[in-house]
Amino acid sequence: FDEAKRNELFKKAYLRILEQAYWINLPGGATYIAWWPWVKGYAGELTISYHEGDVYSHIWLDQDLRYEMTGRR
């Protein structure tokens, strides 16, 4: 294959993609996540792939640990 021709085609395609872009995703700021020790099945993730709500279906509460730590259920 012709590497120079391929690079030129990629450049043209990329410029066309940029022309069609309605927004550009910029990097976000720092995010800090905290949770109680009795929240289980969670490790600070905000999404599973592109599905934001799916994270919460895996979380459960260790009510015995919560009671040990706070005296509340």
**Residue ranges of the domains in the chain?**
3-70
Kindly report the average pLDDT of the chain as a whole number.
Answer: 88
pLDDT-derived band at 59, boundaries 50, 70, 90: very high
pLDDT tens, position by position, 14-37? 899 888 887 777 788 888 899 999
Q: Would the pTM count as exceeding 0.75?
A: no
Cβ-based neighbours of 52, under 8 Å, separated by 6 or more: 46
Q: What's the number of CA atoms in the CB half-sphere (13 Å) around residue 43? A: 1
Are 52 and 46 in contact, with CB atoms under 8 Å apart?
yes
Beta bridge pairs of residue 39: 61
Residue type, 42: Y
Name the residue with tokens 């009795």.
38
